[in-house]
Structure 1
């Protein structure tokens, strides 16, 4: 194999390792914390308390802190499942994409024990002050 091939393989390997590491460093919200008598995520919220400027989006973060990586941005009025809370941060699960709805997230039934959310919807952390409780 030529030197150029080795360098390409090394670069791809490092990129894959870096991407896997960043996914592993995300803190996945835990669902089922309310026990087997409640829904896995016990509430629904609406992104609502942003400044009233056109185009405002709420940043979804990989961890429950301001310095954490931004993984997504949500529009005002987006509905989200409210799962784990951590001080001023809210762990959320939400549908993303043309063919997903809130009910597709599989968190509206009880779990026998708490567990990290495993999909199929998106998840992350937002500042709780920007989420209005709709039900729960």
Structure 2
């Protein structure tokens, strides 16, 4: 029993690291102290061509290799837009957007790594109040 518990304890940290795997194209947020790097909030707009009304989140800004689907989000899901690259938006999302820690505390431009989820979606599927 003790050996089983030890194996479980050793496996969990590796599993957590796999969940936090870097994106193929990271979402980079600027380091302006006290400013929210992902200040544009939006909602995903539905896609009539998808029966399940979801939008694919990818690990980079593109539909083809090397970028892979990493998640699917429902229509009307709230997101924070952190970066735009071509026709794609780097987003942060999760159940509690205010706790996503996108406000800079150091004057350093950096890759967003959490605690919320992140990825890339086509910009045309995001409805925002801001440009």
So what's the TM-score if we normalise by structure 1? Answer: 0.70
Q: Does 1:40 align with 2:44?
A: no
Aligned pair in 2 of structure 1 residues 51, 25: CA closer, same or farther (>3 Å)?
same
Residue correspondence of structure 1 range 1-20 to structure 2 within 5 A: none
Q: What is the aligned partner in structure 2 of residue 116 from structure 1?
A: 111
Larger Rg: 1
Shift of 1:84: 1.2
Shift of 1:73: 0.3
Unaligned stretches of 5+ residues in structure 1: 1-15
Q: What is the aligned partner in structure 2 of residue 90 from structure 1?
A: 89
- Contact 1:49/1:132, CA 8 A, preserved across alignment: no
Q: Secondary structure at the match of 2:52?
A: coil
Unaligned stretches of 5+ residues in structure 2: 1-13
Residue correspondence of structure 1 range 9-88 to structure 2 within 5 A: 23-24=21-22, 26-32=24-30, 35-36=32-33, 38-51=35-48, 54-67=51-64, 68-88=67-87
Aligned pair in 2 of structure 1 residues 75, 117: CA closer, same or farther (>3 Å)?
same
Q: How many residue pairs align between the two structures?
A: 111
So what's the TM-score if we normalise by structure 2? Answer: 0.72
